[in-house]
Chain A
Amino acid sequence: MKVFILTDVEGVTGLVDAAQLSSGEDAYRLVCENLMLDLNAAIEGAFEGGATEVLAWDGHGGRNKLNFIPEMLDGRAAAVDRTHVECIGPDESFQAAFAVGYHGMAGTLNGFLDHTQSGLTIFNWYINGRRVGELVQDALTCSAAGVPLLMVSGDEAACAEARAFFGPIQTAAVKQGVGRSKAIGYPPEEARARIRRAARQAMALVGKVQPIRPILPMEVKIEYTRSDYCDGAAARPGVERLDARTIRWVTSDLRKWH
């Protein structure tokens, strides 16, 4: 069984203050080490649950921002070489997708660093009228290859969001947000044990869970925080501008949610 692991940074164990992301390289290096430990816990659980191959995707930040520390990655897993490839998600040979280190969508109360793609420019993102976050967006990319999302780790808000959109799904909460910029972190050993257990149990869902599939064609709608961010996006072909800050398009391609 092949598992594709999507990763983000905000929902990683031990990251409990927004300032850790802006306090210089050493502080950020620690966050990345925590990311690797969470990722390895998920990989461990996947293999315990019967995985034969694991491929991990370093999903945080732009293409030029690398968060993975390759020498820390569990030797049984491989990472997508991000400097060369855009994330197109898993291909049809995979049976499961996991999301490690995720955060709640923009507008989530007590969601640690809640946002959808950009904390600065995006106010809300909708698929077929339902507000979604990055969990659903990345799951759609996996759905395009027929791969279901079976496991999520992150803060309590991300896990609650996962349970609201996907069922059944295994979740591992590693912290509780307190407002947007702080969180109460659970003890790291306990948090990683949760990730490992959720990953292992998720493997039992393989073959029993369908990938999420919105009714197609799907309507994608983005509300920006300011009209100038929308001025640029509205110029794209096929995009309709609904008002100063809102664009919409319709697509039958599950990967075209962005």
Chain B
Amino acid sequence: MRIYIHTDLEGVSGLDEEEQRQFEKQDLYRQSCEKLMHDVNASIEGAFEGGADEVIVMDGHAGIQRMNFILEMLDKRAEYDPRDESRWWGMLDETCDATFFVGAHAMAGTLNGFLDHTQSSTTIQNFLINGRKVGELAIWATLAGGFGVPMVMVSGDEAACAEARAFFSPIETAAVKQGVGRNKAIAYPLEEARARVREAARRSLALVEQAKPFRPILPIEVKVEYMKSNFCDEAAARPGAERLDARTIRMVIEDPRDVLPWRPFTNAEGRA
């Protein structure tokens, strides 16, 4: 079995203060990246224990210019997927049997979701797929679903895990902390948290056969509500984008890879 692991930073074990994800705070940020690697390795370990033959991992936090992974710390059995602007899904394709999402946070607007946001903490108010408010978990799952790949395991704060259970079933979740307001969390003891990640990963391999890919009905309506109208001024200029009001755009797409309306279209001509 071939497992593709998508990662983010906010939902990593031991991160419990907002400033720990500030890139400018170099030492602190480095520690966060080390913690990320421990969670990633725990999920890799679990995947192999559960019967994976191949594991691919992507460093999913922030833009592709930013490297969060510390490659020398990465479990040697896993393959690192370098990101490429033209393929934000990296090497994920139909040959993968399942995907994990490690270090996840909840969607924008989640009470006590540690660092809750959807794609951007400064520009996006809400992101909706076929009328349902979604976060980055469902956005990734939609992409994976397009390749027929189901989401079977999520780790992150309690809010991210609750969100995962609301969207995906069956799913294995590993909660590593509890958000207290948006900018603080009570982190569970590291050993315990990482054991949970490993255990959820291991158990999730048993779900691969029965889990269904996350597939919103096609064509998919993507609606993005921006926090301010100037962010929308730009987004509304994209071909195929319909502006519903000062802060909202809507797009109808056929290809789940086009779910993020600021990424280049998979079809070079764009979509109407």
Contact of B233 among A119, A123, A181, A228 (CB under 8 A): A181
Interface size on A, residues (CB 8 A): 23
Classify the secondary structure of B's interface with A.
loop
* Count of chain B residues near A, Cβ 8 A: 23
Task: Identify which of B111-119, B163-171, B197-205 touches chain A.
Answer: B111-119
Given A109-B246, A226-B182, the answer on whether A244 and B111 have CB atoms closer than 8 Å is yes
**Which single residue of chain A is at the shortest CB-CB distance from B181?**
A231
For the complex, what is the distance from the CA of A244 to the CA of B118, rounded to whole Å? 14
Taking a contact as CB atoms closer than 8 A, the residue among B108, B182, B229, B243 that contacts A114 in the complex is B229
Q: Assess whether A244 is in contact with B229, with CB atoms less than 8 Å apart.
A: no
> A109's closest neighbor in chain B, by CB?
B246
In the complex, what residue of chain B is closest to A178 when comparing beta carbons? Answer: B233
A51 to B272, CA, bound (A): 58
Q: Does chain B have a CB within 8 A of A211?
A: no
Shortest C-beta distance, A155 to chain B (Å), equals 13
- Do B229 and A107 have beta carbons less than 8 Å apart? yes
A residues in contact with B116, CB < 8 Å: 226-227, 244
B227/A227 in contact, CB under 8 A: no
Kindly list chain A residues whose C-beta atoms are within 8 Å of the C-beta of B183. 228, 231
Chain B residues near A180: list those with CB within 8 A: 228-230, 233, 246
Q: Which residues of B contact A244 (CB under 8 A)?
A: 109-113, 116
A133 interface hit (Cβ, 8 Å): no
Contacts of A245 in B (CB 8 A): 109
A interface, over-half SS: loop
Task: Tell me how far the C-beta of B195 lies from the nearest C-beta in chain A, rounded to whole angstroms.
Answer: 29
Chain B 241-255 per-residue mask, 1 if CB under 8 angstroms from chain A, else 0: 001011100000000
Bound Cα distance A157, B132 (Å):
31
Contact between chains at B109 and A108 (CB < 8 Å): no
Distance to closest chain B CB from A154 (angstroms): 16
A225 at the interface (CB under 8 A from B): yes
Which chain A positions have C-beta within 8 A of B243?
Answer: 109
With contacts A181-B230, A226-B182 taken as known, whether A123 is within 8 angstroms of B113 at the C-beta atoms is no
Q: What 0/1 readout, one digit per residue, does chain A (106-140) give for beta carbons within 8 Å of chain B? A: 11111100110001000100000000000000000
Residues of A within 8 A of B112 (CB): 244
Cβ B182 vs Cβ A108 within 8 A:
no
Tell me which residues from 55 to 75 in chain B have a Cβ below 8 Å from any Cβ of chain A: none
| Also in contact, A114 and B181, with CB within 8 A (given A179-B229, A227-B109) | no
Q: A181-B233, A227-B181, A228-B181 are in contact. Are A107 and B111 (CB under 8 A)?
A: no
- Rounded to whole Å, the gap between the CB of A10 and the closest CB of chain B is 13
For the complex with contacts A114-B246, A228-B181, 12 further pairs of A-B residues with Cβ separation under 8 Å are: A18-B230, A107-B245, A107-B246, A110-B246, A179-B229, A179-B233, A226-B121, A227-B181, A228-B183, A231-B182, A244-B111, A244-B112
Q: Using a CB–CB distance below 8 Å, which chain A residues touch chain B?
A: 18, 106-111, 114-115, 119, 123, 179-181, 225-228, 231, 241, 243-245
Nearest 7 CB-CB pairings of A with B = A228-B182, A180-B230, A179-B233, A109-B246, A244-B111, A231-B181, A180-B229
- Could you give 24 example pairs across A and B, Cβ below 8 Å? A18-B230, A107-B247, A109-B243, A109-B246, A110-B246, A114-B228, A114-B229, A123-B125, A123-B227, A180-B228, A225-B125, A226-B117, A226-B121, A227-B110, A227-B113, A227-B116, A227-B182, A228-B183, A241-B111, A244-B109, A244-B111, A244-B112, A244-B113, A245-B109
